[in-house]
Amino acid sequence: MSKLRRPSRIVVAGLVVGLAAAACGNSGDDSKTTSTAPGPTASTVPGATTTSVDLSTNVPVDETGVSDTEIKFTSISTISGNPLGTDIGNAYNAGIEAYFEYRNTQGGIWGRELVLANTRDDQLGNNQSEAQAMIAQDDSFGAFVATLLFSGAADLDSAGVPTFGWGIHAEFAGKPALFGHLGSLCFGCVGKAVPFLAKSVGATKVAALGYNVENSAKCVDGLERSFDAFGEGAGAELVYSDNTLAFGLPAGLAPQVSEMKDKGVDFISSCMDLNGMKTLAEELDKQGMGDVIMNHPNTYNHNFVRENAELFEGDIVVPQFIPFEYSGGGPTRNAFFEFTDEATRNELTMIGWINADTAFSGLVNAGPEFSREKVIAALNATTDYSGDGMIVPIDWTKQHDDPTSDPSKRSAYECFSPVRVANGEFEIFLAADDRPWLCFDRASETLDDAVPTSFASEG
């Protein structure tokens, strides 16, 4: 039975495998309300990488990886050995190179071109050795990292290397030289997004699934707590959860789906990778539950969804940046579509682009006599970096810290930007096309309506 789309009732992160989302990571909090920070009410909030400074200014800089004409970087990514079968390293590097091309066509930065001089493959298990080799051998100013296992994090931070990465790892927390595309993650924290999505599709019986890997298991815990806090307001009850599944699902999911069927589950939110979601969808279809809506944290992959169109019809996917399908965004996001290839761009291409923009922002704010230390310090003084609206604003004065141990360090915003699968393609869902973020008022103890919001500058 293929999945039928439900109508909306309103006109709304061992092996990490990208489980930073599930709407229980960076955007969540760990109680109904422990903050007085207001949610956004204006349609636009600052956070752009813009400057009126003359970036052609070129003064001598004595720093690793810097010449009179270039600023060189190294990427460390998983190109081979990825058990998910997805393209991480090549797509990520393409995003960095595209961003560098974009800025270099504008004259570069401080009279120099940005160059991705080295691309290291950590082959999944060699991240620490590649990070150590980068520090010892590469003539590079900074590093970019996109990997499933970030064992080199402490080495890069201790060496004072400005490092920009796919922020799905707990290892980013507490390291001031490391900047993810998200602030430090809040695995297991309470959030409103998933209960709000369940309400939006008319669901009443909810299930949560995850792996027996620490971050995935904590993510399921967060979903349980979120429905404890906001399920009543959503009109939905979490009736089934399992965070003991083996990665790769070698035993399948038949018993779990049978139990969910017995409990009348009509909405499933997971903390699993896209292959796990396909296995789940196939078992749902086999047991006559093909119309159950699934909320995916890691399936923003256009080719994969197109190839499995019937399995995922009507499902919801929540990337960690504005999905490509929305038009809302500033000039920096618009340039992404000009400088990348539509046929090959994917989630990691955008992550590479965002990371490169963060590095550029740090260089701008450090000034023409920049250094590694000055770039790190400049970024750590930034309170609202959003890549001109591409991501939810990050306050780097506090978001290096683990919000699970100190809730005051979490983001001031609880926002997400969803899409829905329709005929094998993604379509905008619930948010406004030009205001792609749905944001909640943190101070509210109820499941208040999410406000369509943009963090992009105008122009």
- The closest alpha carbon to 118, from 82, 95, 93, 100, belongs to 93
Tokens of residue 305, six digits? 């969804």
Give pLDDT tens digits for 370-382: 999 999 999 999 9
29 Cβ contact partners less than 8 Å away, ≥ 6 residues apart? 35, 186, 189, 190, 191, 403, 407, 410, 414, 442
Q: Provide, rounded to the nearest whole percent, the portion of the chain with pLDDT above 70.
A: 88
Give pLDDT tens digits for 70-90: 999 999 999 999 988 899 999
- The closest alpha carbon to 322, from 428, 394, 417, 415, belongs to 417
Q: What is the CA radius of gyration of the chain?
A: 21
- Is the pLDDT score of 24 beyond 80? no
Residue 53: pLDDT band (50, 70, 90) is confident
**49, β-bridge pairs:** none
Query: What angle is formed at CA 147 by the lines to CA 132 and CA 421, rounded to 5 degrees?
Result: 170
Sheet hosting strand 70-77, strand order edge to edge: 113-121, 70-77, 142-146, 163-165, 178-180
Q: What is the pLDDT of residue 448?
A: 85
Cα–Cα distance measured from residue 25 to residue 170, given in angstroms and rounded to the nearest whole number: 11
Q: Across all residues in the chain, what is the average pLDDT?
A: 89
Give pLDDT tens digits for 384-428: 999 999 999 999 999 999 888 888 888 888 999 999 999 999 999
Sign of the four-CA dihedral 58, 62, 67, 71: negative
- Is the pLDDT score of 203 beyond 70? yes
Cα–Cα distance measured from residue 173 to residue 167, given in angstroms and rounded to the nearest whole number: 10
Give pLDDT tens digits for 229-264: 999 999 999 999 999 999 999 999 999 999 999 999
Query: What angle is formed at CA 45 by the lines to CA 183 and CA 110, rounded to 5 degrees?
Result: 70
Residue with tokens 């430090």: 184
Cα–Cα distance measured from residue 340 to residue 342, given in angstroms and rounded to the nearest whole number: 6
Give pLDDT tens digits for 438-449: 999 988 889 988
Give pLDDT tens digits for 409-418: 888 889 999 9
- Does residue 412 contact residue 455 with C-beta atoms inside 8 Å? no
- Does residue 437 contact residue 392 with C-beta atoms inside 8 Å? yes
Distances (CA, A) of 268 to 26, 36, 281, 289, 339: 20, 31, 10, 11, 37
Q: What is the pLDDT of residue 51?
A: 55
Topology classification of domain 193-320+413-453: Rossmann fold (3.40.50)
Q: What is the pLDDT of residue 189?
A: 87
Note whether 70-185+326-398 and 193-320+413-453 share their fold: yes
What top-level class would CATH report for the domain 70-185+326-398? alpha beta
Residue 52: pLDDT band (50, 70, 90) is low
CB atoms within 10 A of CB 405: 11
What are the residue ranges spanned by the domains of the chain?
A: 70-185+326-398, 193-320+413-453
Q: What is the pLDDT of residue 85?
A: 87
The pTM score is 0.90
Cα–Cα distance measured from residue 415 to residue 191, given in angstroms and rounded to the nearest whole number: 10
Q: What is the pLDDT of residue 9?
A: 27
Higher pLDDT, 186 or 162: 162
Give pLDDT tens digits for 99-131: 999 999 999 999 999 999 999 999 999 999 999
CA atoms within 13 A on the CB side of 165: 36
Q: What is the pLDDT of residue 394?
A: 96
Q: What is the pLDDT of residue 304?
A: 95
Give pLDDT tens digits for 260-315: 999 999 999 999 999 999 999 999 999 999 999 999 998 999 999 999 999 999 99
Q: What is the pLDDT of residue 8?
A: 33
Q: What is the pLDDT of residue 19?
A: 46
